[in-house]
Amino acid sequence: MKLENKVAIVTGGGRGMGRAMALRFAHEGARVVIAEVDRESGEKTFADIGRCGLLMHSDLARVAEIDELVARTVAELGQVDILVNNAGVTKSLGFFDVSESDWDWMYSVNARGLFFCMQRAAREMARRKSGKIINIASIAGKGFRGTSNIAYAGTKGAVIAMTRVGASQLARFNINVNAICPGVTRTHMFETLMREMTEKRGVSEADAIKRLDSTIPLGRSNTPDDIANMAAFLASAEADNITGQSFNVDGGLVWD
């Protein structure tokens, strides 16, 4: 098992990509801390990993709750070996539709919350001179035209930049920092966005998905397990000499 005796925090671990990563990490031998704002989905995933770890009701827009998340992990499980910054929010908005409250909402979780999770977990990792941080960015952060909105794309561009700078500044503590940039991925968020888009454009959801998949070179959108596969690799010893990178998992939609 690639992650035996490791402790992994997965934010937004209740559903979608977070759930897939929590399940995969548990399968690989890790004790998993699921940080989830939605109690019901968090409870279900925690039960499905055999309650091996911790379940924390955490709002990543609140720095005090991030501090509590990491402090309790260390107090009860002894260490933090892996952090997956997966929690994120968005909605379908046109350029002129983005409001100040939309902007603040997305940045508070996707960029600000992600940074303070990195910082707090890295403090613990630095003491042990070991750690893996995996930030879930998006191909939106590389300018993908099909993004849900421009503010969301900005948050994910910030994640990519923070991944690179964080990798540089944390390397002396033997902490690896990498990002995964998913393309179109079949998650709860994806389903919500598809409903919003189909209502606006007057097409069926099945039609919209078919059109979307036809634009992907490999012909299919991601499943959450596609992201979990990459996360398990980056969290493992197999990726010990990889840091500061942003890996696209998108079926060939973008190349950089």
Q: How far apart are CA 198 and CA 187, in angstroms?
A: 16
CA distance 35 to 225: 19
CB 120 within 8 A of CB 131: no
**What is the number of domains present in the chain?**
1
Q: Which residues of the chain have pLDDT under 70?
A: none
Report if residue 179 sits inside a domain.
yes
Report if residue 250 sits inside a domain: no
**CB 33 within 8 Å of CB 69:** yes
Question: Quick check: helix, strand or coil at residue 153?
Answer: helix
Residue 13 lies in a domain: yes
CA–CA dist 146, 235 (Å, integer): 29
Residue 190 lies in a domain: no
User: For residue 131, what are its two tokens?
Assistant: 């750690």
Q: Using an 8 Å Cβ cutoff, are 231 and 21 in contact? A: yes
Q: Residue 69 is part of a domain; what is its CATH number?
A: 3.40.50.720
Residue 137 lies in a domain: yes
Asked whether residue 251 is domain-assigned, the answer is no
In a domain, 30, yes or no: yes
Count Cβ atoms below 10 Å from residue 95 Cβ, excluding itself: 8
Q: Which residues pair with 31 in a beta bridge?
A: 7
* Cα distance between residue 107 and residue 246, in whole Å: 20
- Residue 203 located in a structural domain: no
pLDDT of residue 4: 97
Segment (H or E) for 36 = strand 31-36
| Known catalytic residue at 107 | no
At residue 210, the pLDDT reads 80
pLDDT at 124: 98
What the block records as the tokens of 21 is 């990563």
Domain that holds residue 133: 7-185+223-241
User: Which amino acid would we find at residue 105?
Assistant: W
Radius of gyration, CA atoms only, the chain: 17
Q: Which residues contact 101 (CB under 8 A, 6 or more apart)?
A: none
Q: Which of 152, 163, 176, 182 is catalytic?
A: 152
